[in-house]
């Protein structure tokens, strides 16, 4: 549809005149500046995303418990349940120590 729209300088001139008439000559520089700023902001944000790893929010790294130990695949189910319950209890204590209410997971819903 638009394949041959800009193949002639006359077509480019006509499109430019239509744009100026529609938007007005006073608004075009502001629109171009705004578009340029937006493109620069997008470029810097994309570079920052590629350069930096996402940082943890402040205070999260300080109060985070140590990584849970991996359970061996051959452990019996009761040992796995006991280890998971211990992890839940540790997490509840950590949350309670931070000043927020810990959820009671021992009660069935």
Residue 89: CB atoms within 10 Å = 13
Whether this prediction's pTM lies above 0.85 is answered by: no
Each residue's pLDDT tens digit, 6-56: 788 888 888 888 888 888 878 888 888 998 999 999 999 998 888 875 555
Residue 107: CB atoms within 10 Å = 6
Each residue's pLDDT tens digit, 90-100: 888 888 887 65
Domain ranges of the chain: 9-51, 60-97
Go through 52-76 and write b for each residue having 16 or more CB atoms within 10 A of its CB, e for each that does not: eeeeeeeeeeeeeeeeeeeeeeeee
Q: Is the pLDDT of residue 2 over 60?
A: yes
């Amino acid at each position: 549809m638009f394949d041959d729209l800009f193949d002639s300088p006359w077509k480019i001139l006509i499109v430019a005149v239509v744009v100026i008439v529609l938007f007005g000559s006073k608004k075009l520089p502001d629109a171009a500046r705004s578009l340029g700023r937006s493109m620069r902001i997008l470029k810097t944000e994309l570079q920052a995303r590629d350069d930096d790893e996402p940082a943890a929010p402040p205070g999260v790294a300080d109060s985070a418990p140590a990584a849970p130990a991996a359970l061996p695949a051959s452990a019996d189910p009761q040992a796995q349940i006991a280890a998971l319950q211990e992890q839940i209890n540790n997490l509840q204590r950590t949350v309670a120590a931070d000043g927020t209410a810990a959820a009671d997971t021992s009660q069935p819903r």
